[in-house]
Amino acid sequence: MKSPRWRSFVLMSTLAVGLGCIAGPREARAQGIDARPWLGIAMDGEAKVLGVRVGHVVRGSPAERAGLREGDRIVRVAGATTSRSADVMRAVAAFAVGDSIDIGFERGGQLRSAKALLAAFPSVDEMLRMDLVGAFAPTWKGIETVSGVFPPSIGSLRGRVVLLDFWATWCMPCRVVIPKLGALQARYGAQGLSVLGMSTETAQDVALFAQRVAMRYPVAIDKAAETTRSYGVASLPTLVVIDKRGVVRDVAIGYDSSEDERLDSSVRALLAEPAPPSD
């Protein structure tokens, strides 16, 4: 039987917001979470205006299929007025997987309505892959370089294959992955590979650690965790594989030594793809 992936849990995924807290996979199964209805939105903090602002809509989710977008303000769910995120969660939780619910929302000053067919709650890993794979990689913001030359944007790496590693100094599986990523950078950097590390810790802690272990690729800190949230990272390490066009092709969550060769093969295959046309 295949061993479980080695990981460190860090925070609740922003992609899961809409129906309460997310536990680890084992705890989730024990609590029957995947039998609960899922809408697939992240909601911003409370504001002194009507409704609840949608901060993010998961790709392929019931919310996206219903036509909801980031920035919409949900004012009613199944006939119940919503002024807080808890109101939305409570209203959705009253239904079952497969039920269709009416959602009233405000967009651009106009009231609109939609019907969402609720799906079963996916795991955090499934949600992350659903949201990222096949889409253009979110741009990073609020970052500060602490080691090497960290690119200013994902757009500046167009034409290169990127391995973006979300990690932390205290994360034991991250420490195992770091030299392996360094070896990939050394092996394929001249062919067009860019390995990058990103942490939400302090600049001093990350810089000292990077120096101590001789990290062989650029490292930045995500000062307010804005980029980490935009990628939906819930456990470490999370490795995002991005092709030459800037499209996410794979996401590796946690560490499994049996997949080292698969990652190497994936990098080689992506490097062999043609470069995108210049603008």
Task: Please pick, among 171, 181, 240, 267, the residue that the annotation labels catalytic.
Answer: 171
Same domain, 132 and 257: yes
Told to judge if 21 belongs to the known catalytic residues of this protein, a careful annotator would answer no
Same domain, 193 and 108: no
Question: Percent of the chain beyond pLDDT 70?
Answer: 86
Say if 5 falls within a structural domain: no
Give the CATH number for residue 88: 2.30.42.10
What does the alpha-carbon distance between residue 223 and residue 135 come to, in Å, rounded to a whole number?
Answer: 25
Task: Please pick, among 19, 174, 263, 270, the residue that the annotation labels catalytic.
Answer: 174
Told to judge if 174 belongs to the known catalytic residues of this protein, a careful annotator would answer yes
Task: Report the pLDDT value the prediction gives residue 279, as an integer from 0 to 100.
Answer: 64
What does the alpha-carbon distance between residue 268 and residue 241 come to, in Å, rounded to a whole number?
Answer: 12
What does the alpha-carbon distance between residue 29 and residue 25 come to, in Å, rounded to a whole number?
Answer: 6
Burial class (CB in 10 A: 0-12, 13-18, 19+), 207: middle
| Residues whose CB falls within 8 Å of the CB of residue 269, separated by 6 or more in sequence, listed in order | none
Residues of the domain holding 137:
124-272
What does the alpha-carbon distance between residue 128 and residue 228 come to, in Å, rounded to a whole number?
Answer: 12
What does the alpha-carbon distance between residue 254 and residue 66 come to, in Å, rounded to a whole number?
Answer: 32
Task: Report the pLDDT value the prediction gives residue 44, as an integer from 0 to 100.
Answer: 82
Same domain, 147 and 111: no
Same domain, 86 and 219: no
Low-confidence ranges of the chain (pLDDT < 70): 1-34, 46-48, 279
Q: Is the pTM of this model over 0.85?
A: no
Task: Report the pLDDT value the prediction gives residue 35, as an integer from 0 to 100.
Answer: 79
